[in-house]
Amino acid sequence: MPSEGERLRIVFICTGNICRSPAAENIFRHRAEAEGLLPELEIDSAGTGGWHEGEAPDARSAAALRHAGYPVDGFARPLRARDYGAFDLFVCMDCTHVREVVDRGAPRERVVLIRHFDDTRSHDDVPDPYYGGHEGFTEMIAMLEASMDGLFARVREELARKRGR
């Protein structure tokens, strides 16, 4: 079992950490467990703001996750100053998050946009479904799932680098 310092630390980022980033975290964690990579990873999610700190994922996001066969875990938290040096990969849901995370101090080479891992994408952002209906949450799950193969390829590269140290 890798020690904490040997694990690849990944954080998924959205605005309030109740819709997109916890969905991405739960999908990613589920797949990492299925692929046997979970012991090598530390997975978290956070928001650029702290409005929902301590809250469970939005009920519509949770319902969409459960409908797609994923567990629903976690509580909202904001990004904190210590996070910028602690995580190996910041996986952002939209371009505004990338800018904000880099501006706050995350190394640019560690900040990625999740949709860039989907070669079939028609746009770069996972739209915020918060102010819409249930269909927005279903579309969000589909976008996140479509990005997972590419994200896992990147994670495997990062893990190989860590193992090679």
Question: Which domain CATH number covers 82?
Answer: 3.40.50.2300
Domain count, the chain: 1
Task: Note the pTM of the prediction, 2 decimals.
Answer: 0.96
For residue 106, give its domain range: 4-160
Which pLDDT tens digit goes with each residue over 78-131? Answer: 999 999 999 999 999 999 999 999 999 999 999 999 999 999 999 999 999 999
In whole numbers, what is the pLDDT of the chain averaged over residues? 95
Catalytic residue among 7, 9, 20, 115: 20
Catalytic residue among 77, 128, 154, 156: 128
Catalytic residue among 7, 14, 88, 110: 14
Is residue 92 annotated as part of the catalytic site, yes or no?
A: no
Note whether residue 149 is domain-resident.
yes
Note whether residue 148 is domain-resident.
yes
Note whether residue 165 is domain-resident.
no
Q: What is the 3-state secondary structure (H, E, C) of the chain?
A: CCCHHHCEEEEEEECCCCCHHHHHHHHHHHHHHHCCCHHHEEEEEEECCCCCCCCCCCHHHHHHHHHCCCCCCCCCCECCCCHHHHCCEEEECCHHHHHHHHHHCCCHHHEEEHHHHCCCCCCCCCCCCCCCCHHHHHHHHHHHHHHHHHHHHHHHHHHHHHHCC
Which pLDDT tens digit goes with each residue over 3-40? Answer: 556 899 999 999 999 999 999 999 999 999 999 999 99
pLDDT at 1 over 80: no
Note whether residue 99 is domain-resident.
yes
Is residue 14 annotated as part of the catalytic site, yes or no?
A: yes
Note whether residue 37 is domain-resident.
yes
Note whether residue 147 is domain-resident.
yes
